[in-house]
Amino acid sequence: MKIAIFGGSFNPPHRGHVEAALDAISYLKPDKLLVIPAAIPPHKSLDEDSPEPEERFKLARLAFAGIPQAEVSDIELKRNGKSYTADTISQLRDIYPGARLYLLLGTDMFLGFERWHEFRGILDSVTLAVFARDQGENDVIKNCADYLASKYGARVTIIPREILPMASSDVRELFPNRKGADCVPPAVYARIIRKRLYRAKPELAWLRERAYKMLDPKRIPHVKGCEQEAVKLAGRWGADPGEAAEAAILHDITKKLLIDEQLLLCERYGIIIDSLEARSPKLLHAKTGAALAEDLFGVSAKVKNAIRWHTTGRADMSLLEKIIYLADYIEPTRSFKGLSALKALAYEDIDEALLLGLKMSLDELKQTGATPHRNSINAMEFLTTRRERFK
């Protein structure tokens, strides 16, 4: 039996890791490729924002799920102390007696191999399978292979491959800047965003693609317009435009659901509703949309609340809540009497615009015979009282 061993911190597992694994499988043709995330890497310390070992294990399973020969092992996670490769090789010898073991290494790890813990024992047990991580490294790899072979009798094979230069440290730096989706497998990126690992913020194009699939196609122009208006309002009033875009993109993700589907989501997420909401999908979608946005996309409490209150408003709204409420009301696809005045006011005095928008909304409900929600009344009363106080 031939087994290739691919260890590392996988922090996070990226496309370069997957490509290297595929190249190794193509060249070595192993019966099994063991991907082994380290619990505590002995050769480097992990960044403070790094996920726990169990989370990196889950990311690795997602990254290599499409490779039939690959098996992600938790052997090092179950072992106490630093994740020394020598100890792992010893365990694998017991698990797979008689197997031919190939240890996959990138250039940097290979060149420093003599500094590894009990490296001579490793050389006695495995063939080192080395792949270049950057252009122009093959000569230095060959020289090091010849050196290790002559001095220690090392068995070394060099895996030919197309170079995809990529380092986990560089990938990690992209995530907080709404970049990096193309650097990791799609399922890995989705989990990173859902859990907000590495202080990640979603690429807005990625978020739009997923949110739009959850909408009635006829609603997409409205959501696009809401995002456009929210970003403009954020720029005017000093809010984070990325947070405004996130909230706007996601604010209607459960809008198309029927009342029974809304109620099922309320049950799933433990959402408490009142008698008026229980009869109104329009009211419920703000609550269920906020809960689903948090669950699927890991939105912050600030963004979640902006989605939660975009329909009724509430007393003492945050800046982002005001922005999303108004952007939903005045975005470019809207057309109603008084829109121009409301839109102009939104860029002059956001509180006065919010108060006017609430009044217009309540007037419309009265004209149709609908019952206004108490939260909307509270929001209007709060703004009216504050305006009187500061006159």
Split at pLDDT 50, 70, 90, the class of 42 is confident
Query: Residue 20 above 80 pLDDT?
Result: yes
Pairing of strands 156-158, 126-131: parallel
Residues counted in the chain: 391
Query: Residue 163 above 80 pLDDT?
Result: no
Query: Residue 43 above 80 pLDDT?
Result: no
Q: What would the mean pLDDT of 302-318 be, rounded to a whole number?
A: 98
Domain ranges of the chain: 2-166, 203-389
CA angle in degrees (0–180, nearest 5) for 200-206-210: 115
The answer to whether the CB of 355 falls within 8 A of the CB of 384 is yes
Split at pLDDT 50, 70, 90, the class of 264 is very high
Confidence (pLDDT) at 48: 80
Confidence (pLDDT) at 391: 63
Question: Model-level pTM?
Answer: 0.94
What does the mean pLDDT of the chain come to?
94
Confidence (pLDDT) at 139: 86
DSSP 6-59: EEE--SS--HHHHHHHHHHHHHH--SEEEEEE-SS-SSSPPPTTPPPHHHHHHH
The answer to whether the CB of 40 falls within 8 A of the CB of 87 is no
d(CA 296, CA 249): 13
Task: Decide which of 1.20.1050.140, 3.30.70.600, 2.60.40.10, 1.10.3210.10 is the CATH code for 203-389.
Answer: 1.10.3210.10
263 vs 390, higher pLDDT: 263
Split at pLDDT 50, 70, 90, the class of 44 is low
**The domains spanning 2-166 and 203-389 adopt the same CATH topology:** no
Overall fold of domain 2-166: Rossmann fold (3.40.50)
Q: Residue 387 corresponds to which tokens in the numbers above?
A: 């305006």
Pairing of strands 100-106, 70-72: unpaired
| Dihedrals phi, psi of 37, to nearest 5 degrees | -65, 135
Split at pLDDT 50, 70, 90, the class of 369 is confident
Q: What would the mean pLDDT of 1-24 be, rounded to a whole number?
A: 95
